[in-house]
Amino acid sequence: MDSILWQKIISIIENNERFVLSSHINPDCDALGSELALAEQLRSLGKTVNIINTDPVAANYRFLDRKQRIQQYSEKRHSRIIKKAEVVIVLDASGGWERLGAVGKALAQAEAIKLCIDHHPDATDFVDVAVVDTEASATGELIYDLIMAMGGSLSNNIAQSLYAAIVTDTGSFRFPKTSPRTHRITAELLVAGADPMYIYRQIYEQNLLETIQLKGHIMASIRTAANGQIAYYGVSQNTLKQFDVKTSELDGVASLGQLIGGVRVTIYCMELPQERVKISLRSDGTVTINQIAFGYGGGGHPSAAGAIAEGHLAEVMAEIIAKVEHLLS
């Protein structure tokens, strides 16, 4: 990252005392880890820091925030803090204040200097200074750079937070942005005490038995089409009830089909109340599937996209299979 840009951020940090950090709705580990690491660095300089997000910290990420530094936004509790803030730093989110949910509305009104540090390629004209590096595998990489540029040190907490940010955003060091730099940074985090086994177990191995059993049921129902190039499966509201599993616990189900050799596209459909169906599409990168999601008013990346359609589960599924077959032919 361009050190002149960091110098700009560092002089803003040095010249101010009251900071608010925030990130996107449904904050992931990169959002939370980046917030916690930067907050600790700022506090070590004697700054006053509030981390305020719209959504609460998900249960499997709470180990990062044992001291409960991360606050869930409420207008009553936070309007004064936001009003008095001198600097607002948005992490792991660009594209506008809407990405932040309710707290974004409040922060947009603040008189503070507004900064954004991110690795997404979205517009940054909503802030005064933005540091965006789309080559970074995670915002956590950029926070590492910033802490180093400030001459800060890596406490055990900072190391755990940034490791969690990077291991999740790289899909455990396999996604395309995983670079030599990612591994060099990660090496330093290990030196500073990040514990890979512990962090992995906290994030990925806290499932309920019911969830694993439902995943087993879904896996047993996987079918293929187009000579094994398409995997498809669905789950009904009845099945969710039968297994007593909340939809929020079904992370990772959308990519189960990609575990099968030869599968290029996975179609996963989940029945929603009121005759709607949530469609999730994954591809192995050899075919672009977000155009199908766009057709239903959805969105996403070329190899991971989704949408919500009207209709019955089986009908919607058949429709999507036909569209993907056409795409592959």
**Binding site residues, Mn ion, CB under 5 A:** 30, 92, 139, 169
Three-state DSSP state, 37: helix
Question: Closer to Mn ion at the Cβ: 117 or 253?
Answer: 117
- Residue 6 and residue 11: Cα distance in Å, rounded? 9
Measured in degrees and rounded to the nearest 5, phi and psi for residue 160 equal: -60, -45
Question: Closer to Mn ion at the Cβ: 22 or 139?
Answer: 139
Question: Closer to Mn ion at the Cβ: 61 or 296?
Answer: 61
| DSSP bridge partners of 129 | 115
Question: Closer to Mn ion at the Cβ: 252 or 262?
Answer: 252
| CB of 23 vs Mn ion, minimal distance in Å | 9
- Tokens 């789950």 -> residue: 235
User: What radius of gyration, in Å, describes the C-alpha atoms of the chain?
Assistant: 21
| CB of 304 vs Mn ion, minimal distance in Å | 14
Question: Closer to Mn ion at the Cβ: 30 or 271?
Answer: 30
Cβ-Cβ contacts under 8 Å for 100 (sequence gap 6 or more): 22, 23, 24, 25, 53, 54, 90, 93, 107
| CB of 165 vs Mn ion, minimal distance in Å | 7
Residue nearest Mn ion by beta-carbon distance: 30
CA distances from 23 to 80, 88, 227, 299 (A): 19, 11, 43, 20
- Residue 174 and residue 153: Cα distance in Å, rounded? 28
| CB of 137 vs Mn ion, minimal distance in Å | 8
| CB of 249 vs Mn ion, minimal distance in Å | 22
Q: Residue 194, class by beta-carbon neighbours within 10 Å (0-12 exposed, 13-18 middle, 19+ buried)? A: buried
Question: Closer to Mn ion at the Cβ: 176 or 228?
Answer: 176
| CB of 202 vs Mn ion, minimal distance in Å | 18
